[in-house]
Amino acid sequence: MAGTAVRGRLTWQTATVGTVMDETPQVRTLSLSVPDWSGHRAGQHVDIRLTADDGYQAERAYSIASAPGEPLTITVERLDNGEVSPYLTEEARPGDQLEVRGPIGGYFVWEAETGAPLLLAAGGSGVVPLRAILRHRSLVGSSVPVRLLYSSRSWEDVIYSSELDFPADGVEVIYALTRSQPPMWHGYARRVDRQMLAEVAWPAADRPLAYVCGPTSFVESVAAGLVGLGYPAERVKTERFGATGQ
């Protein structure tokens, strides 16, 4: 019942689309203005709900791309058979209104006090919550060392490339391009595997903390690889998008 929401309970709120920016041909970043936004933590997500003229509703979860304290932004990959992402990536215009519920999640979250050397592993648009973590680290002046291992089909599919080209001090970005590589490519040209993790990941003795986000098969394989390298399972935080992205 509208108007009877219990204070503090997670409810749907109306959001207004601010700016839209293309990241790649398939991926777009949108800023959302929510009047009563409570603020979020790095790594959290929101649910977006769309309602068709006939009342049909579809909702999906999207990771928050911005750091705590920054305006709320999400980055969305278009899925051809999606119910929500085609609207967000192709039709949404500044001023459009949609419904948002969030912020959501207390598990896949990093805060500066958590510290630890961070290993961030992204498959495709799994980089989105990790980018929020990177921005949060920079904004609070944290010096925690970070390695981001980012698996993408091709260089054209890399999200946030202009930002990741100039990482903050103490941040290393390592790419694995799985399908095609630009000429003179010196980075990895295969899927993330055990050998690559052994080369990239902080030694388990450094007590690192890993955040792994992407398609389910990617996350399963990377998480198992890290546990095989001696990472305690509870130090490997995971978020799985399913088969084809969010």
Partner 1 sequence: MDDAAVDGNAIGGLLASVFGTDMTTAVGTCGSCGAITMVAELPVYLTEIGTVVRCRSCQSVLMVFVSVRGITCVDLMGLASLS
Residues binding partner 1 (CB under 8 A) = 6, 8-11, 45-47, 61, 101-102, 104-108, 215-217, 220, 237-243
d(CA 56, CA 39): 29
Shortest Å distance, C-beta 236 to partner 1: 10
Shortest Å distance, C-beta 141 to partner 1: 27
Q: Which is nearer to partner 1, 75 or 175 (CB)?
A: 75
Q: Which is nearer to partner 1, 46 or 159 (CB)?
A: 46
Q: Are 222 and 200 in contact (CB under 8 A)?
A: no
Shortest Å distance, C-beta 45 to partner 1: 7
Biggest CA–CA distance in the chain, Å, is: 61
What burial letters (b/e) apply to 78-102, b meaning 16+ CB within 10 Å? bbeebebbebbbeebeeebebbbbb
Q: Which is nearer to partner 1, 55 or 183 (CB)?
A: 55
Phi, psi of 233 (to 5 degrees): -55, -35
Q: Are 191 and 166 in contact (CB under 8 A)?
A: no
Tokens of 124: 């495709």
Burial of 163 (0-12, 13-18, 19+ CB in 10 A): middle
Q: Are 27 and 159 in contact (CB under 8 A)?
A: yes
Shortest Å distance, C-beta 9 to partner 1: 6
Shortest Å distance, C-beta 132 to partner 1: 14
Q: Are 71 and 57 in contact (CB under 8 A)?
A: no
Q: Which is nearer to partner 1, 52 or 205 (CB)?
A: 52
Q: Which is nearer to partner 1, 114 or 195 (CB)?
A: 114
Shortest Å distance, C-beta 180 to partner 1: 23
Q: Which is nearer to partner 1, 10 or 21 (CB)?
A: 10
d(CA 37, CA 47): 13
